[in-house]
Amino acid sequence: MVKTAVVTGAGSGIGRAVARALLDEGFEVALAGRRADALAETAEERETALVVPTDVADEDSVKALFDAVRDRWGRLDLLVNNAGIGAAGTVADLSVADWKRTVDVNLTGMFLCAQQAVLLMKDQDPRGGRIVNNGSISAHVPRPASVAYTATKHAVTGLTRSISLDGRAWNVACGQIDIGNAATEMTERMAAGIPQADGRIVAEPTFDVRHVADAVVYLAGLPLDTNVQFLTITATTMPFIGRG
């Protein structure tokens, strides 16, 4: 039986790499993101890709995404809950609007997608599926001036644990991948140097984003009676261990 997946934030970066890797593995993949043109570029005209422009922070938009999956394939085996945004700012200067937007996308968006995925997975035959949440290194420790992003990513860890527990009733496995400095458009600035906890500006190493995609493919290939609860993947010499 062909397996199906939804990848959010599939128009660039980690989401694009993961979506293409799943397509290469024979998955039918719904590509979700805000920009239809970027999603089409990810799809590379593959018939097994379904482009669904989606705002994960909007309940109706998310429901339409999963309705499209149900209409196209009738089931869902994997959700890669990847979409997220950043907002630079400390607790003293971050605007409330930026705080709310970050929470809406990074936390509420993940909840909305997970909810719709579980509703589909628990009623399909055979029952069940897998959810992989993108937690980020910031689910462990913060960078300077990242209060909104860090708070949401810490919250994603709680979301992952709760889904993992609740999902047992429906054969839904949920785990989290925490990624540090995968080489994407978002991390290009790291080569020029970014602020550290001690005030220095330091260039940080990155690693090939394909290794993230390979890790997700590994998780996707596990049977549902086996779960990797948390997986951390970083550049080896990234200043993560010892950060702060």
Positions marked active-site: 149
3-class DSSP assignment, residue 130: strand
In single-letter form, the type of residue at position 224 comes to L
Distances (CA, A) of 143 to 46, 73, 150: 38, 41, 8
Distances (CA, A) of 154 to 103, 108, 112, 224, 238: 11, 13, 17, 25, 20
Q: Residue 11: which of 34, 44, 45, 29 has the closest Cα?
A: 34
The C-alpha angle 113, 116, 120, rounded to 5 degrees, equals: 135
Contact by Cβ (8 Å): 14, 80: no
DSSP letter at 106 equals: I
Residues 6 or more apart in contact with residue 224 via CB below 8 angstroms = 128, 129, 130, 171, 172, 173
3-state secondary structure 33-51: ECCHHHHHHHHCCCCCEEE
